[in-house]
């Protein structure tokens, strides 16, 4: 049994990971989360208090971070400012959390010689042309587009340097776009689902041709546990489930599953610098570590996610009006 310190464990993917760890392992979990607008205590409700505890604090605060890292067997680092649109509006918190926060955790892991796994995104690689057959691999050069992805790229490079220069026992994973329960309504899929549930027409940026490579958050969690168990120190692993879909198809699928006409959506102003296409080649993770996703069928995973939002309006409703007001102010 291990003691995990999970940063950002009250956010979308971090809370899915904590639920997954409780269900599939004997590990205990300390969540360190600042509870920004994106963090939600309610995402950890129902978990056993003898296995999971929440510490509210900032990953950039060394006084909070060092004692928690000292008592952990491994750090799994999810905490980040994560929303591209926010990073275009105000980049500063992205630097504070994604760069200085990661630096603070790495220094603590170095001091206490604690295993470290860094969660990152495929957005560090920039984007691909729509008609390009290529997919991202661990050898694709970094080419981030936004303040969000550039700070994530910077944090990945810090981890690599702390492995090489100081011998920190770290691994990195870069995952494609996640969907599933507990995702904030500012993000594409939950925004469109909750629009439909509220009787608002879904909103599609530009012409909706941008492609994302979708993976269920639970598959992301099993991949991270696999890397923690069997990953080689210093290595990077790409995580993806061969789930490429253009945004228009995703909105049409949400409308079809919820019994609406598939053209009942609005086209809105595109995001500046909007990446065209992401696609992950996860061969290394599958062949070297033997990981496979279990949510092979995007449509049934999406239908289950829609049901979750239908059943958990109390979880998302408090944020919905503010998010829509923010987008409306930008014509989106
Ligand atoms: N969402 C995706 O599709 C996706 C895909 C690949 C990788 N990732 C990465 O996964 C991680 C989690 O993403 P998410 O979508 O769950 O994000 P999220 O915004 O839902 O959650 C982030 C969490 O971090 C916490 N946090 C923010 N700043 C903090 C700070 N300074 N100190 C402590 N806690 C802080 C927030 O309160 C929140 O609970 C991020 O590192 C992100 O880059 C996300």
Q: Could you report the per-residue pLDDT of 92-119, keeping only the tens digit for each?
A: 999 999 999 999 999 999 999 999 999 9
Rounded CA-CA distance 297/216 in Å is 10
Our answer on whether the CB atom of 171 is closer than 6 Å to any ligand 1 atom is no
pLDDT of res. 170: 98
pLDDT of res. 177: 96
Q: Could you report the per-residue pLDDT of 152-208, keeping only the tens digit for each?
A: 999 999 999 999 999 999 999 999 999 999 999 999 999 999 999 999 999 999 999
Q: Could you report the per-residue pLDDT of 192-240, keeping only the tens digit for each?
A: 999 999 999 999 999 999 999 999 999 999 999 999 999 999 999 999 9
Percent of the chain with pLDDT over 90: 95
H or E segment and range at residue 311: helix 298-311
* Distance in Å, CA 96 to ligand 1 centroid: 13
Our answer on whether the CB atom of 61 is closer than 6 Å to any ligand 1 atom is no
- Residues 238-252, mean pLDDT to the nearest whole number: 97
- Residues 137-154, mean pLDDT to the nearest whole number: 97
The domain 3-178+215-239 having CATH identifier 3.40.50.720: the answer here is: yes
Backbone angles phi, psi at 140, to 5 degrees: -65, 130
Helices assigned H by DSSP within 10-117: 12-24, 62-70, 84-89, 92-94, 102-112
* Distance in Å, CA 78 to ligand 1 centroid: 5
Read off the tokens for 240. Answer: 């993806």
Q: Could you report the per-residue pLDDT of 35-73, keeping only the tens digit for each?
A: 999 999 999 999 999 999 999 999 999 999 999 999 999
Taking the chain, what is the end-to-end CA distance rounded to the nearest angstrom? 47
| 331 has a pLDDT exceeding 90 | no
Q: Could you report the per-residue pLDDT of 261-303, keeping only the tens digit for each?
A: 999 999 998 888 888 999 999 999 999 999 999 998 999 999 9
Q: Could you report the per-residue pLDDT of 305-328, keeping only the tens digit for each?
A: 999 999 999 999 999 999 999 999
Q: Whose CA is nearest to atom 36 of ligand 1?
A: 39
Rounded CA-CA distance 191/139 in Å is 33
Q: Which residues does the annotation mark as catalytic? A: 122-123, 148
User: Average pLDDT, whole number, for the chain?
Assistant: 96
pTM: 0.97
| 1 has a pLDDT exceeding 80 | no
Our answer on whether the CB atom of 159 is closer than 6 Å to any ligand 1 atom is no
Number of helices (H) and strands (E), helices first, in the chain? 12, 13
Our answer on whether the CB atom of 150 is closer than 6 Å to any ligand 1 atom is no
Can you give the residue ranges of every domain in the chain?
Answer: 3-178+215-239
pLDDT of res. 330: 86
């Amino acid at each position: 049994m291990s003691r995990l310190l999970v940063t950002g464990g009250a956010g979308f993917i971090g809370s899915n990971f904590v639920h997954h760890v409780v269900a599939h392992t004997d590990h205990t979990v300390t969540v360190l989360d600042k509870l920004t607008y994106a963090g939600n205590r309610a995402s950890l409700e129902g978990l056993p208090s003898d296995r999971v505890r929440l510490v509210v604090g900032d990953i950039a605060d060394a006084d909070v971070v060092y004692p928690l890292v000292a008592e952990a067997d491994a750090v799994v680092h999810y905490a980040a400012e994560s929303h591209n649109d926010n990073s275009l509006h105000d980049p500063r918190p992205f630097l504070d959390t994604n760069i200085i926060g990661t630096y603070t955790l790495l220094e603590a892991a170095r001091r206490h010689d604690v295993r470290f796994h860094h969660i990152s995104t495929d957005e560090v690689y920039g984007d691909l042309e729509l008609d390009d057959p290529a997919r991202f691999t661990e050898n694709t050069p970094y080419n981030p587009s936004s303040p969000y992805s550039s700070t994530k790229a910077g944090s990945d490079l810090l981890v690599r340097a702390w492995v090489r220069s100081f011998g920190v026992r770290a691994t990195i994973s870069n995952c494609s776009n996640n969907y599933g329960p507990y995702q904030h309504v500012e993000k594409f899929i939950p925004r469109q689902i909750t629009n439909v549930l509220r009787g608002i027409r879904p909103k599609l940026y530009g012409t909706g041709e941008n492609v994302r490579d979708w993976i269920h958050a639970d598959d992301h969690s099993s991949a991270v546990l696999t890397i923690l168990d069997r990953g080689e120190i210093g290595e990077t692993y790409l995580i993806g489930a061969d789930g490429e879909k253009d945004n228009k198809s995703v909105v049409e699928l949400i409308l079809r599953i919820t019994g609406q006409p598939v053209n009942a959506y609005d086209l809105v102003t595109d995001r500046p610098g909007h990446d065209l296409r992401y696609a992950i080649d996860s061969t290394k993770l599958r062949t070297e570590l033997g990981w496979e996703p279990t949510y092979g069928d995007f449509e049934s995973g999406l239908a289950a996610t829609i049901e979750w939002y239908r059943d958990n309006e109390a979880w998302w409703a408090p944020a919905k009006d503010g998010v829509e007001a923010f987008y409306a102010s930008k014509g989106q």
